Homo-oligomer: A and B are copies of this chain.
Amino acid sequence: MDNWILKQAALSPQRIAVNDGQTKLTFSQLVGQLETLAGKLDRIGALNGNRVAIMTRNSLQGYLMALAALGSGQTIVWLNWRLADAEIKRQLQDSRPTLCLVDDQLWRPAFDSEFVKFSDVMGITVSKKPLRSEFDPEAVASIMYTSGTTGAPKGVMQTFGNHLASALASSLNLGVTPKDEWLCAVPIFHISGFSIMMRGLIYGMTVRLVAHFDPQTVDRILTHEPVSTISVVPYMLKKLLDLLEQQGNRYNANFRCMLLGGGPIDRQTLTRCQRAEIPVVQSYGMTETCSQIVALNYSDADSRIGSVGKPLFLTQIKLADDSGEILIKTPALTPGYLNRPDALADKKTADGWYRTGDIGHFDQDGFLFVDGRIDDMIISGGENVFPDEIESVYLARPDIDEIAVVGADDPEWGQTPVAFVVSDQPLNSQDLIEYGRQRLAHYKVPHRFIRITQLPMNAGGKVQDLS
């Protein structure tokens, strides 16, 4: 198929492709800028191989670097700038990009000659290089490393076809109009942000790029600019609600939808959304599926608290008979993990369903609820217990800052839940147990509460068990 960037420049040359608040580039101008950048990238040899790594904040320059590489036929290896040197090194050893392009502000002393600062690229004077005329749906557009809770990070390969299927399925659910403009304050090195970039190219839509999530800035943009859509995680939603409630303002007339990833919202937060007139669409997806594959529309939110919704048009979902694990089929599913030809097959059933690793259930009307990770599941006295549920109950207490529930071996019950809590206030175990018993089945209430000063996290923000 046609290179999406060139296609939009042909279809809608005057439409704004990207706007970072200072610079607006039409699709036509975008192509010009990318051709200039492609010439520079070519000069430094970045286009000699098949892959280019990029480490950037949500800056316009990083955005353009990525699209110049992509438009020139390169696979982008997205680097999370929050990772430690050693983690980055492992990802590069695995992906072996020709070069690694780095936002100047993220430069590190450890970076050697395979790393190139954006400013060094920009400093080159050279003639333009045309972009590749076509994108191959089977070709890998991007690689993102997921830090599973066990083992080394794996590079998820996302094809152009995967991104296309994801964007189209999303459009059938959220709708798509020529007036759409999507605010991107989530990182473009994550699928949450990169999928917005891809939708921009596929819909011919303006991406309103925001350097990082500052609630005041985003609130101001949503109020005064014609943004129709924003992707958020629960933390961002709550910060935005705080501001709306303090200020009593309303978002612009073109605002249509807040797409929420990273877990469903509670009744209280939904009520706040309703009061603030924010149509929030909850969703479920993963790096392996190029973002959302399940969504809960706003009109259903009130009656389905805790649900992530229904599988989108192109996605099929069923539950494993034995474990209740969520199994999926979707054209947005990755063709595999880089350099691990067996790793995806290992996560598929004999008849080709992808095992998500999440346990879930459907209600009688076909709404999906995600109960928790299969790896985190505690089996206590034959009952399945999910740490997520317990943690969210305790996090509602103002005296608990953080909590992690894990399973401890128990001679009588097999396992019992034990909680690690972070708090700067006095806590009483019996009081906490009593609190739990009023809100949870008894077998879900942690038998012990252990105070710690900090939760042990891996790079992906997940608690790591000693094992």
Contacts and interface: CB of A to CB of B under 8 A. Distances in A.
Give the number of times this chain occurs in the complex, counting copies: 2
A19 interface: no
A172 B314 contact: no
A175 B178 contact: yes
Interface residues of A, number: 26
Nearest to A168: B168
Interface in A111-151: 134
Interface in A169-196: 171-172, 175-178
Nearest to A203: B172
A366 interface: yes
A261 interface: no
A204 B204 CA distance: 23
A329 B137 CA distance: 14
A131 to B, nearest CB: 15
A329 B13 CA distance: 22
A316 B202 contact: no
Interface in A312-333: 313-314, 316, 329, 331
A202 B11 contact: no
Nearest to A178: B175
A290 B171 CA distance: 21
Contacts of A202: 172, 313
A141 to B, nearest CB: 16
A10 interface: yes
A7 interface: yes
Nearest to A366: B10
A331 to B, nearest CB: 8
Contacts of A40: none
A10 B172 contact: no
Contacts of A389: none
Nearest to A137: B331
A17 to B, nearest CB: 15
A11 B176 contact: no
Contact of A172 (B1, B171, B329, B331): B171
A2 interface: yes
Contacts of A4: 313
14 contacts: A1-B314, A1-B316, A10-B310, A11-B313, A13-B365, A168-B168, A168-B172, A171-B172, A171-B176, A172-B202, A172-B203, A172-B204, A176-B176, A204-B313
Interface of A: 1-2, 4, 7, 10-11, 13, 134, 168, 171-172, 175-178, 202-204, 310, 313-314, 316, 329, 331, 365-366
Q: 9 tightest A-B contacts by CB? A: A175-B177, A168-B168, A10-B366, A2-B316, A11-B310, A175-B176, A176-B176, A172-B203, A175-B178
